Amino acid sequence: QVQLVESGGGLVQAGGSLRLSCAASGRTFNSYNMGWFRQAPGKERDFVAAIDWWSGLNTDYADSVKGRFTISKDNAKNTVYLQMNSLKPEDTAVYYCAADLGSGSIHRLALGYDYWGQGTQVTVSS
């Protein structure tokens, strides 16, 4: 079992920054890939970013956030982060972190992630 708890969401003006954190407990943290997804009202849950379980050097980003968001992880703290810069109103959503216990490559498919956090709200005002 893996438990994931997100934090760091809030209200920010366009152009501002936020850093989301996702604290994991349970199974050894460096044995699963991690991802961030987001879901705006009335929309599907979309992929945001992913990071590999071992080195943390393999990452992937949705085109909409590339160059503005950075995913990272600290295995010693069992925590994955999403640094979000140059935020836009269209970034407004509930952000979820997720864990993929498979040993394959990082990917963007929500169905392939085994555990999810409860989500944290990010609201960007114009």
In this prediction, residue 73 carries a pLDDT of 92
How far is it, in rounded angstroms, from Cα 68 to Cα 51?
16
Mean pLDDT to the nearest integer, 64-85: 95
Question: pLDDT, tens digit, for every residue of 15-63?
Answer: 999 999 999 988 765 678 999 999 999 999 999 999 997 788 899 999 9
- State yes or no: pLDDT of 70 exceeds 90: yes
Of all residues in the chain, the percent with pLDDT exceeding 70 is 96
Residues 23, 7 contacting (CB under 8 angstroms): yes
How far is it, in rounded angstroms, from Cα 98 to Cα 58?
16
- State yes or no: pLDDT of 69 exceeds 80: yes
